[in-house]
Amino acid sequence: MSGLAPFGARLRRAMDERGPLCVGIDPHASLLAEWGLNDDVTGLERFSRTVVEAVADRVAVLKPQSAFFERFGSRGLAVLETSVAEARAAGALVVMDAKRGDIGSTMAAYAESFLHKDAPLFSDALTVSPYLGYGSLSPAVALARESGAGLFVLALTSNPEGGEVQHAVRADGRNVGATMLAHLSVENAGEEPLGSFGAVVGATLGDLSSYDLDINGPLLAPGIGAQGATPADLPGVFGAAVRNVVPNVSRGVLRHGPDAVALRDAAERFAEEIRHAVAAS
């Protein structure tokens, strides 16, 4: 065992203490250029360190997108390792946005990369894709439980292409997205104060009242800011489950860099708007 409390309990505490905001760390080439940085490992390192130093001591969650580090090979992964370690040391929970999904021993190896307590890239939670069947995630579920980590399963994503899979209707009359939510409800049954197995549900999707979002787990909600959703939209989208929503903002905060104070101020503005929207619901 890792000695860590379950991810859901740690996340609930962080959200209550710091607010529910999740800030993405997405160092894509155009954003590096906006910061006046070169699209190389030096620029990547400067970008990531600046974000972590600016906000990791005050937001609940940081979510690095692994692809933007992987594209630089082993040196990029070294920067990612450092960013994860420094963010966690500053008190932020780290959700690794890697969207891994496979079967059997391969899924187990992906899980070990991010969820084993001794892994260099150990993160508090990992995004995963269930579209080889929810059961294919079993190795990640088991290791997350053992390590005190969590998962965020792609269920109702904000990209328009997702609908052709997630809205497909099964023989039992329930669509695929609702099926994933139902699986997560089972994983989280009886957990207090919050289960560790969450869903990714886009904040841009409008009224989701036809779905049972009460999975007793967190709902990672991309789409706030540059994608068009606002904190004020959250109660209308998530209804009674809004208290368990972890809204993700990436460009809406990151575009204020490289000034650390401006990054911090932007994160605090979003956090306050989200806190107000949730309290008013």
Residues with catalytic annotation?
A: 99
Q: What is the DSSP string of 104-115?
A: HHHHHHHHHHHH
Our CA angle for 32, 92, 255, nearest 5°, is: 25
The whole-angstrom separation of Cα 184 and Cα 35 is: 39
Residues 6+ apart with CB under 8 A from 236: 206, 207
Tell me whether residue 146 is exposed, middle or buried, using C-beta atoms within 10 angstroms of its C-beta: 0 to 12, 13 to 18, 19 or more. Answer: middle
Host H or E run for residue 126: strand 125-128
The answer to whether the beta carbons of residues 118 and 143 sit under 8 Å apart is no
The answer to whether the beta carbons of residues 15 and 246 sit under 8 Å apart is yes
